[in-house]
Chains A and B, each alone.
Chain A
Amino acid sequence: SQQGEEDPQALSIQEGENATMNCSYKTSINNLQWYRQNSGRGLVHLILIRSNEREKHSGRLRVTLDTSKKSSSLLITASRAADTASYFCATDAGASGSARQLTFGSGTQLTVLP
């Protein structure tokens, strides 16, 4: 079953606007990660937020984590056409010492219109 579920499934915005994507999950986690996938390509890791962190920034990306609500959000500021891609959240809920498995959500398809 999918641990992470993204919302919305699809998002279309104008270049320069901000894009916000949300992710909900079901169990306790060690960390939550966001990945990007361009059409027909592999996934690229964007940012990781640990369970004891509430907010993290990386360039134009801002991620928040609310463990009480089991949710996370990814904000892309000042979007560009090149940001058009699918964005996935993934949760790491593995036990210490085990192989680190990630459970991926179904993704948000972001389209940034020039």
Chain B
Amino acid sequence: SQTIHQWPATLVQPVGSPLSLECTVEGTSNPNLYWYRQAAGRGLQLLFYSVGIGQISSEVPQNLSASRPQDRQFILSSKKLLLSDSGFYLCAWSGQGAVGTQYFGPGTRLLVL
């Protein structure tokens, strides 16, 4: 069966510090991968998605970036965090078929102070 992992679960970082959040998927090949951010009590905002290794599409211009160094690994990064980067970050995967059901990881709660 497929599983998706995210770490860390919780992160507290000072403003201006770098960020690296990791997401890995097991049990499937060539998935579509997604990074979302969720503000408290709100819906999901799509940040990045990837259809393959090294292929990243950005939905929202910001100081975040994403990379996909391996088929089942998706990394969200920042060189300098802003207060507004605080939130709940969710990684998800979907298959390459016609139906776009997505499967989510447990999320990373980021607090920038």
Query: Taking beta carbons and an 8 Å cutoff, which residues of A are in contact with B?
Result: 2, 30-31, 33, 35, 40-45, 48, 88, 90, 92, 94, 96, 99-107, 109
Contacts and interface: CB of A to CB of B under 8 A. Distances in A.
Contacts of B101: 33, 45, 48
Given A42-B107, A88-B44, A101-B46, A96 B90 contact: no
A107 B34 CA distance: 19
Interface string B80-113: 0000000010101010001111111111010000
A99 B43 contact: no
Given A35-B104, A40-B109, A43-B104, 6 more contacts: A30-B98, A40-B88, A42-B106, A99-B57, A105-B43, A106-B42
B35 interface: no
Interface of B: 32, 34, 36, 41-44, 46, 49, 51, 57, 88, 90, 92, 94, 98-107, 109
A105 B38 CA distance: 11
A97 to B, nearest CB: 9
24 contacts: A30-B98, A33-B100, A33-B101, A40-B88, A40-B107, A41-B107, A42-B104, A42-B106, A42-B107, A45-B101, A45-B102, A45-B103, A88-B43, A88-B44, A92-B99, A96-B98, A99-B57, A101-B49, A101-B100, A103-B46, A105-B43, A107-B42, A107-B43, A109-B41
A109 B43 CA distance: 11
Nearest to A98: B51
Specify the main secondary structure of chain B where it touches its partner. strand
A31 B99 contact: yes
B4 to A, nearest CB: 8
A41 B104 CA distance: 9
A106 B43 contact: yes
B39 to A, nearest CB: 10
Given A99-B49, A100-B99, A42 B90 contact: yes
